């Protein structure tokens, strides 16, 4: 089905779009352009939406804004924004009244004319998604990147060709209600995350599993053999299963042995490249590459794999090198909004770092992070709502004996300046917060941009 046909099928129905953010705005425009009866629902008030509210009004939308924006919602079709759980009272009551609950991403799966490779995981999904896209581009493919990154793709579907490839990063919030799976699904790893939003860890894990649960025998799922949760997913897969591992040789997929990456097909292995030739630092990026190599097996030649790994500089806010000043190197890892992600960032360097951490928690403990900080951090600068919790986890860690030095700062800019002041020639300053940014920033990108602004302003 083409997207234009999909829109035609909505004429005569009452359609509600919940959330007038980046991913849903093109959808709202398309619905109104197709003369679909559309109500735009957003918690923000009219003055907060600003020009967008006026534009939607002019195009003929009805607006439901403010705290009660979902109360007694009457609609035939509801497009849910990813951050809104499907089980909240207002949505479940609307469904009981006959509404069909969907999302921009679910609609895209209905109208996409080409193969989809989708990536999810607790850590590493953005970089792995970006690597897969780079590999396919190197092979000459037309690639469309979307989901949690890139551009909303639904309204672009009619311009895609059958031999294009779509590469998506999908979050648990997007996956929880998905009714279709991609042709190739990749799960980088699964560890407790977003427990401030999901009901429990079981719901979170099941949402991740949903990325491949609708595949048939022609589908393919790429799983992390080194991760207990993802290793177990193989039992319920209907299609082909490929594993990737840094610890063990695999029969089908990609693995690391003697500091080199190998591709395995039915037990027969061929070397692709040395791990040390990968441009991006850290063992976790080796994992991202072997996951990506497994995903594109049969689609990308080994030469393109090696060239991409040697030259790809990575993604913003993911151990992003900012500058070197007086022998001190500064790295932005603002994407690290969970303890496991920060642990991976610390292990990416072969020396102790000056770490800036803290923000808004996700309901996840910091004990494991505290032990890693005691081992891998020279000076710890804490800020944000969780600074006391992280400090306590470090001080109580088994390996803590008065080091690292811990500096507490209420203001984020002051925290960055304190880290810079403590740094000496040869040091590394790393922003890797282990928490979300929502105590003071709109998102991790804004936090990372502020870090870069302060660092670039150092003299």
**pLDDT value for 19:** 93
Asked if residue 212 and residue 83 are part of one domain, the reply reads no
Q: Which two tokens stand for residue 18?
A: 């919940």
Report DSSP state, residue 334. Answer: T
User: How does DSSP classify residue 99?
Assistant: P
pLDDT the model gives residue 195? 62
Are residues 416 and 351 part of one domain?
A: yes
pLDDT in tens, 399-412: 898 999 999 999 99
Nearest to 76 by CA among 98, 60, 103, 93: 98
Q: Which of 74, 18, 77, 75 is nearest to 43 (CA)?
A: 18
> Same domain for 147 and 195?
yes
Collapsed DSSP state (helix, strand, coil) of residue 325? strand
β pairing state of 260-265 and 253-257: antiparallel
Is the domain of 286 the same as that of 401?
A: no
* Same domain for 251 and 339: no
Q: Same structural domain for residues 269 and 130?
A: yes
Same domain, 131 and 204: yes
pTM over 0.85: no
Are residues 239 and 145 located together in one domain of the fold?
A: yes
The answer to whether residues 191 and 306 belong to one domain is: yes
Give the CATH number of the domain where residue 97 resides. 3.40.50.720
Per-residue pLDDT of the chain (459 residues; tens, 9 = 90+): 999 999 999 999 999 999 998 889 999 999 999 999 999 999 999 999 888 999 999 999 999 999 999 999 999 999 999 889 999 999 999 999 999 999 999 999 999 999 999 999 988 898 999 999 999 999 999 999 999 887 899 999 999 999 999 999 999 999 999 999 999 999 999 986 666 777 678 889 999 999 999 999 999 999 999 999 999 999 999 999 999 999 999 999 999 999 999 999 999 999 999 999 998 888 889 999 999 999 999 999 999 999 999 999 787 888 888 999 999 999 999 999 999 889 989 998 889 999 999 999 988 899 999 999 999 999 999 999 999 999 999 999 998 989 999 999 999 999 999 999 999 999 999 999 999 999 999 999 999 999 999 999 998
- Which of 279, 311, 343 is the last residue in one of the domains? 311
* Number of compact structural domains in the chain: 3
The residue assigned the tokens 């009981």 is 96
Reduce the DSSP state of residue 229 to 3 states and report it: helix
Domain span including residue 179: 106-311
Q: How far apart are CA 226 and CA 215, in angstroms?
A: 23
Q: What is the pLDDT of residue 281?
A: 83
Domain boundary among 102, 119, 138: 102
Cα separations in angstroms, 54 against 15, 40, 57, 61, 379: 19, 12, 5, 10, 50
User: What does the alpha-carbon distance between residue 219 and residue 99 come to, in Å, rounded to a whole number?
Assistant: 31
| 329 shares its domain with 278 | no
- Residue ending a domain, among 257, 292, 311, is 311
Is the peptide bond prior to 404 cis by the omega test (within 30 degrees of 0)? Answer: yes
Backbone phi, then psi, for 31, in 5-degree steps? -60, -45
Cα(235)–Cα(223) distance, integer angstroms? 11
| CATH for 270 | 3.40.1190.10
Within 318-443, where are the H helices? 339-347, 367-376, 387-395, 412-422
Place of tokens 């032990």: 371
Asked if 106 and 128 touch (Cβ cutoff 8 Å), the reply is no
Q: What CA–CA distance (Å, rounded) separates 288 from 105?
A: 24
Residues 330 and 276 in one domain: no
**DSSP conformational letter for 236:** G
Nearest 5 degrees, angle CA 256-CA 261-CA 264? 85
Shared domain for 50 and 178, answered yes or no, is no
| Those residues with Cβ within 8 angstroms of residue 411's Cβ, 6 or more apart along the chain or in another chain | 383
The angle formed by the CA atoms of residues 19, 133 and 300, to the nearest 5 degrees, is 150
DSSP three-state, residue 350:
coil
């Amino acid at each position: 089905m083409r997207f234009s046909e999909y829109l035609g099928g909505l004429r005569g129905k009452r359609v509600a779009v919940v959330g007038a953010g980046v991913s849903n705005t093109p959808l709202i425009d398309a619905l109104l352009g197709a003369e679909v009866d559309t109500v735009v629902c957003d918690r923000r008030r009219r003055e907060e939406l600003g020009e967008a509210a006026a534009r939607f009004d002019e195009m003929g939308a009805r607006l439901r804004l403010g705290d009660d924006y979902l109360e007694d919602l009457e609609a035939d079709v509801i497009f849910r924004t990813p951050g809104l759980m499907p089980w909240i009272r207002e949505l479940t009551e609307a469904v009981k009244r006959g509404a069909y609950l969907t999302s921009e991403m679910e609609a895209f799966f209905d109208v996409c004319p080409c193969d989809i490779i989708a990536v999810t995981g607790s850590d590493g999904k953005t970089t792995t998604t970006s690597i897969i896209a780079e590999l396919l581009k190197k092979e000459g493919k037309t690639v469309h990147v979307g989901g949690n990154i890139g551009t909303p793709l639904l309204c672009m579907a009619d311009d895609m060709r059958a031999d294009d490839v779509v590469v998506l990063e999908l979050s648990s919030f997007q996956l929880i209600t998905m009714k279709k799976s991609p042709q190739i699904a990749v799960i980088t790893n699964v560890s407790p995350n977003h427990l401030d939003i999901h009901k429990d860890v079981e719901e979170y894990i099941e949402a991740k599993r949903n990325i491949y649960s609708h595949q048939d025998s022609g589908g393919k799922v790429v799983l992390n053999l080194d991760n207990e949760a993802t290793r177990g997913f193989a039992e319920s897969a209907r299609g082909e299963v490929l594993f990737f591992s840094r610890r063990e040789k695999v029969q089908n997929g990609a693995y690391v042995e003697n500091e080199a990456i190998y591709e395995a097909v039915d037990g027969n292995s061929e070397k692709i490249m040395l791990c040390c030739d990968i441009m991006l630092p850290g063992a976790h990026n080796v994992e991202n590459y072997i996951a990506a190599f497994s995903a594109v097996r049969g689609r990308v030649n080994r030469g393109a794999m090696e060239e991409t790994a040697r030259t790809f500089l990575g993604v913003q806010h993911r151990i992003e090198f900012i500058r070197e000043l007086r022998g001190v190197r500064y790295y932005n890892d603002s994407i690290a909004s969970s303890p496991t992600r920060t642990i991976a960032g610390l292990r990416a360097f072969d020396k102790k770092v000056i770490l800036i951490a803290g923000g808004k928690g996700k309901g996840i403990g910091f004990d494991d992070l505290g032990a890693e900080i005691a081992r891998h951090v020279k000076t710890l600068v804490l800020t944000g709502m969780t600074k006391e919790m992280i400090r306590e986890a470090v001080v109580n860690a088994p390996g803590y004996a008065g080091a690292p030095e811990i500096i507490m700062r209420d203001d984020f800019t002051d925290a960055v300046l304190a880290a810079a002041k403590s740094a000496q020639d040869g040091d590394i300053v790393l922003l890797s917060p282990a928490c979300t940014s929502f105590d003071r920033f709109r998102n991790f990108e804004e936090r990372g941009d502020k870090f870069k602004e302060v660092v670039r302003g150092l003299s």
